[in-house]
Amino acid sequence: MFATTHQKIIAKYFSNDDVLASMAFQSFYAGMPPDMCAGLYAIAGLVEHTGIHYPKNGGMIGIPDGIRKAFEELGGEVRLGARVTHIITESRQAKGVLLSDGEEIMAGNVVGAINAKKVYMEMIGRGNLPWHVWRGIDSMELSMPCPMIYLGVDYEPPLNAHHTLTLTSPEVMNDYWSKNYLKGRLYVVDGKPEIMGLVSWASKIDPSLAPDGKHVLTHMGLAPYDLATTDWDSYKEQYIDEAVATIEKYIIPDLGKHIVFRDMATPRDLERMLLHPGGAVYGIQTDLSHMAMFRPANRSKSIENLYLAGASTHPGGGVCTVIAGGIITAGLLVDDNS
């Protein structure tokens, strides 16, 4: 599972191209194509097919909302719009956080739930870390960004599942990575860009997410952060057009005629809004060299009283994996403070 790849693991059990594509796509959650992702991550395909990726009510935002409610019921206070700029340290001990408005909040423990590179390299800083720790965090590779398109449509889309792919096979995914993605380009078929990705039909599971008779779709694409010929702010609207054309070609003919709302979060937007370096929503990539003890630890090894959670820590990126990591970090906090 560790020494082989995601693609090899799934090829042991499946041969149909559509099934292989649906099981291989999850490697991109780890930030890599199926032939470069660690075999252990093949479990994500199984998790996806069991359906536990989808909250039954309230869409994905229902997950952080639920965590917030639970935290408040336990007496916690949640402050939104309060951006942390620095983690205050003293003799390699976390003492609190500094907010962008200059307020300092002192605390016995600090938990960083954003990308670990951002936590260590910007919020703590090189001068507060041992040189070998700095070198380690600096060497870590980011996962690929996932531009998100949000669509409102005026009808029930002709889909038969919550998730539908516009990809055809693991080979296409691997080919895209080496020949296009790494060169800052999107996939091109017959001279036209095709936006690979996953269409999620959230209002199929929870109709309350859209007005009566209408539905919401999201498209999670696979695209580089640094584009070879343009930048994301300029390319945004064209990208949506190209993604809709790709969806029309493969899974929903005439989708464009039914769109009543469209918006997207580019990798640059994800970086600005969520502080993901490189727009990497799945944190640090999950190949063998970035897993387990080689991934940022949930309890910092270099800064006392500092804990980390989220996609860039152990065990990795993706909703279920991040929740598992949060449980590990919470357990460590409880153990260390009891």
Partner 1 sequence: MKSSKGLLPLVLIAMAGWWLSTHRTASDWRYLKLLVTQLPKMPFRYFV
Binding site for partner 1 (CB under 8 A): 5, 7, 35-36, 116, 120, 130, 132-133, 135-137, 139-140, 174, 178, 287-290, 293-297, 301-302
Of 74 and 131, nearer to partner 1 (C-beta) is: 131
DSSP labels, 167-220: ---HHHHHHHHHHTGGGT--EEETTEEE--EEEE-HHHH-GGGS-TT-EEEEEE
Compute the least distance from the CB of residue 290 to partner 1, in Å: 7
Q: What's the closest the beta carbon of residue 138 comes to partner 1, in angstroms? A: 8
Q: Shortest gap between Cβ of 116 and partner 1 (angstroms)?
A: 7
Minimum Å gap between C-beta 196 and partner 1 is: 18
Minimal CA–CA distance to 151: which of 235, 227, 209? 209
3-state secondary structure of 5: strand
Stretch (H or E) spanning 149: strand 148-153
β-strand 93-99 against 84-90: which pairing, if any? antiparallel
Cβ–Cβ < 8 Å for 215, 65: no
Closer to partner 1 at the Cβ: 7 or 166?
7
Q: Which of 210, 212, 206, 199 is nearest to 161 (CA)?
A: 199
Q: Which is nearer to partner 1, 167 or 297 (CB)?
A: 297
Which residue's CB is nearer to partner 1, number 24 or number 240? 24
| Shortest reach from residue 336's CB to partner 1, in Å | 19
User: Which C-beta is closer to partner 1: that of 48 or that of 287?
Assistant: 287
**Residue owning tokens 């469209």:** 262
Q: Residue 243 CB, nearest distance to partner 1 (Å)?
A: 27
Q: At what angle do helices 267-274 and 232-250 cross, to 10 degrees?
A: 120
Per-position DSSP letters for 46-71, written without gaps between them: HHHHHTTTS-SSS-TTHHHHHHHHHH
CB 268 within 8 A of CB 280: no
200 or 312: whose CB is closer to partner 1?
A: 312
Q: Which is nearer to partner 1, 33 or 59 (CB)?
A: 33
Give the shortest CB-134-to-partner 1 separation in angstroms: 9
The least distance separating partner 1 from the CB of residue 41, rounded to whole angstroms, comes to 13
For partner 1, the closer CB: 130 or 253: 130
Beta carbon nearer to partner 1, 173 or 210? 173
d(CA 89, CA 291): 27
Going by the DSSP 8-state scheme, the letter that residue 294 receives in this structure is G
For residue 153, the minimal CB distance to partner 1 (Å) is: 38
> Phi, psi (5° rounding) for residue 99?
-90, 165
b or e along 156-175 (b: 16 or more beta carbons within 10 Å of the residue's beta carbon)? ebebeebbbbbbeebbbbbe
